[in-house]
């Protein structure tokens, strides 16, 4: 494989990558309350900062918000039911 082939392959891969601001939002926690709407609006407006801080990721034009990790007690209170 020559350098020209590698450059063409790299150009094809780079052309397929999406650049620019995300067009949609995805969250692993509800953001439908007033504070959540403000957080979503801030995430869209400042998506680079959110990604740099580790509070979000961008994949294929979708901004994925990441909720803080739950402690063991929080997880148990939310998902464990008494039998």
Question: Of residues 55 and 1, which shows the higher confidence score?
Answer: 55
Distance, in Å, from the CA atom of 50 to the CA atom of 57, rounded to the nearest integer, reads: 8
Interval 42-63 mean pLDDT: 87
Q: What dihedral do alpha carbons 11, 15, 20, 25 form, nearest 10°?
A: -130
Query: For the chain, what are the domain ranges?
Result: 21-79
What confidence score (pLDDT) does residue 18 get? 61
Percent of the chain with pLDDT over 70: 84
pLDDT tens sequence across 15-39: 766 667 888 888 877 666 555 567 7
**pLDDT recorded at residue 33:** 57
In the chain, pLDDT over 90 holds for what percent of residues?
1
């Amino acid at each position: 494989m020559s350098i020209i082939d590698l450059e063409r392959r790299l150009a094809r891969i780079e052309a397929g990558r999406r650049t620019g601001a995300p067009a949609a939002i995805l969250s692993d926690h509800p953001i439908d309350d007033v504070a959540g709407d403000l957080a979503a609006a801030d995430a869209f407006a400042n998506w680079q900062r959110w990604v740099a801080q580790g509070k979000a990721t961008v994949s294929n034009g979708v901004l994925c918000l990441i909720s803080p990790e739950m402690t063991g007690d929080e997880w148990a209170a939310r998902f464990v039911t008494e039998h």
